[in-house]
Amino acid sequence: MTVASTTVVAAGAVCFRYVGGAVRVLLIHRDHHGDVSLPKGKVDPGESTPQTAVREIHEETGYRVSLGAPLGTAEYVMPGGRDKVVHYWAAEVTDESFAAAGTFVPNSEVAAIRWVPLAEARAALTYERDAEVLDRFADRVERGAARTFALVALRHAKTTSPAEWSGSDATRPLLPQGRRQAKTIAPAIAAWAPQRLISSTAARCLATLEPLSALTHVGVKQTDSLSQDAFERHDDDVVGVVAKRLKKRVPAVFCTHAPVLPELLRQIATSTKGGERLDLRRASSLSPAEFTVLHVSVEGGALVAVETHGPMG
């Protein structure tokens, strides 16, 4: 399906928990549709699909989640003839989130929720398109790749050109357009709840991460290891930065420069299982403020999925 201006775009997730070592997934019951489905909702104006998924899950179920790896899309024709595309991710509901949500209270969208085993969930779903999304998640569970952490490779936002700047390259500031870009991508990246923000020492990279840092309350660590100057001098340490983050296994963001990105992604790919087989040329050829999210399994260190996003507008 080609996404046209008339296409309804939505986002949601397969929400899951581990209970006694077994996976349970969340189903929602909607009285006004008379169906059983996965939590999802339409994208609001100015929203990214990852941002929508997190917001809708909270509004419909009460659970606050961060996203895992993408599970593709469900595409269909709505009653009335409009096309609809729904973007899905996996999203673990942690014990803390489960406890914080408390007892579910029915709302205007959802009459009831249920946590059920995978096989039971597939049989209960009203729509085959939802069951196909669930099958993709079940395959991840079978491979031990349901739990993942995100490594986000971000190119800095739109910057003053060298021809219009009299100072050193590292001091070039963001343009007004770049500052707007940095603000629009912050909620999207925040959907993966990064715990570390790592930046090149260049002013344009630090400024790109400012809105994300403010939103997530995570400080920015700056390092020459990801700077363009160090990369061009061949004294960068992309290898070391990547190795540390893979060892820590928590979501992290790397903000760096176009020349550095291919090596950054190459190091992540070659240091994870299955990553060496992927063609990451598009994923590493980013325009200003675009970012690629690489999802690595917590158990086994496999590169589970790769997705690329950009600023809104």
User: Which CATH number goes with the domain that contains 226?
Assistant: 3.40.50.1240
- 203 with 173: CB under 8 angstroms? yes
The CATH number given to whatever domain includes residue 12 is 3.90.79.10
String of b and e for 184-194 (b: at least 16 CB within 10 Å)? bbbbbbbbbbb
Chosen domain end from 85, 119, 142: 142
Last residue of a domain, one of 87, 117, 142: 142
Q: How confident is the model at residue 106 (pLDDT cuts 50, 70, 90)?
A: very high
Do both 134 and 196 map to the same domain? no
Decide: helix, strand or coil at residue 311. Answer: coil
Q: What is the mean pLDDT of the chain?
A: 95
**Structural domain total, the chain:** 2
Exposed, middle or buried: residue 6 (CB in 10 Å: 0-12, 13-18, 19+)? Answer: exposed
DSSP-derived letter for residue 255 is E
pLDDT, residue 109, reads 87
- Work out the number of other CB atoms within 10 angstroms of the CB of residue 262: 16
Question: What is d(CA 262, CA 282) in angstroms, rounded to the nearest whole number?
Answer: 10
Percent with pLDDT over 70 in the chain: 98
Nearest to 305 by CA among 149, 176, 156: 149
State yes or no: pLDDT of 42 exceeds 90: yes
Q: Would you place residue 31 in the very low, low, confident or very high pLDDT band (cuts 50, 70, 90)?
A: confident
Residues 176 and 193 placed together within one structural domain of the fold: yes
Residue 4 has pLDDT above 60, yes or no: no
Please answer whether residues 35 and 162 qualify as being in contact, where contact means their C-beta atoms are separated by less than 8 angstroms: no
Q: What is the tens place of the pLDDT at every residue in 159-217?
A: 999 999 999 999 999 999 999 999 999 999 999 999 999 999 999 999 999 999 999 99
247 and 265 fall within a common domain: yes
Predicted confidence at residue 72, as pLDDT, reads 97
pLDDT tens, 211-259?
A: 999 999 999 999 999 999 999 999 999 999 999 999 999 999 999 999 9
Q: Say whether both 15 and 105 belong to one domain.
A: yes
180 neighbors 56 (Cβ within 8 angstroms): no
Q: Could you give the CA distance from residue 124 to residue 119 in angstroms, rounded to a whole number?
A: 9
Q: What is the pLDDT of residue 2?
A: 43
What pLDDT is stored for residue 189 in this prediction?
98
Q: Are residues 134 and 173 in the same domain?
A: no
Q: Decide if pLDDT at 75 tops 80.
A: yes
Tell me which of 124, 142, 160 is where a domain ends. Answer: 142
106: burial class by Cβ within 10 Å (0-12, 13-18, 19+)?
exposed
d(CA 91, CA 103): 19
Q: For residue range 252-291, what is the model confidence (pLDDT) as tens digits?
A: 999 999 999 999 999 999 999 999 989 999 999 999 999 9
Range of the domain at 253: 148-309
Residue 247 has a CB neighbour count (10 Å cut-off) of 9
Q: Where are the beta strands (DSSP E) in the chain?
A: 8-19, 22-30, 35-37, 40-42, 70-77, 83-92, 112-117, 148-155, 196-200, 220-223, 252-256, 291-297, 303-309
Parallel, antiparallel, or unpaired: how do β-strands 22-30 and 83-92 relate? unpaired
The three-class DSSP label of residue 70 is strand
Token duo for residue 253: 């963001």
Whether residues 163 and 301 share a domain: the answer is: yes
Summarize the confidence of residues 112-118 as an average pLDDT. Answer: 97
Asked if the model's pLDDT at residue 301 lies above 90, the reply is yes
pLDDT of residue 213: 98
Residue 120 and residue 18 share a domain: yes
User: What pLDDT digit, counting tens, does each position of 135-150 carry?
Assistant: 999 999 999 999 999 9
Residue with tokens 């540390």: 244
Q: pLDDT at residue 33 above 90?
A: no
* Same domain, yes or no: 60 and 19: yes
* Residue 3 maps to a domain: no
Please give the pLDDT value at position 312. 85
91-97 average pLDDT score: 97
pLDDT band of residue 1 (cuts 50, 70, 90) is very low
Indicate if 95 and 31 belong to the same structural domain: yes
Q: Are 136 and 157 contained in the same domain?
A: no
Same domain flag for 229 and 196? yes
**CA 290 – CA 185 distance, rounded (Å):** 8
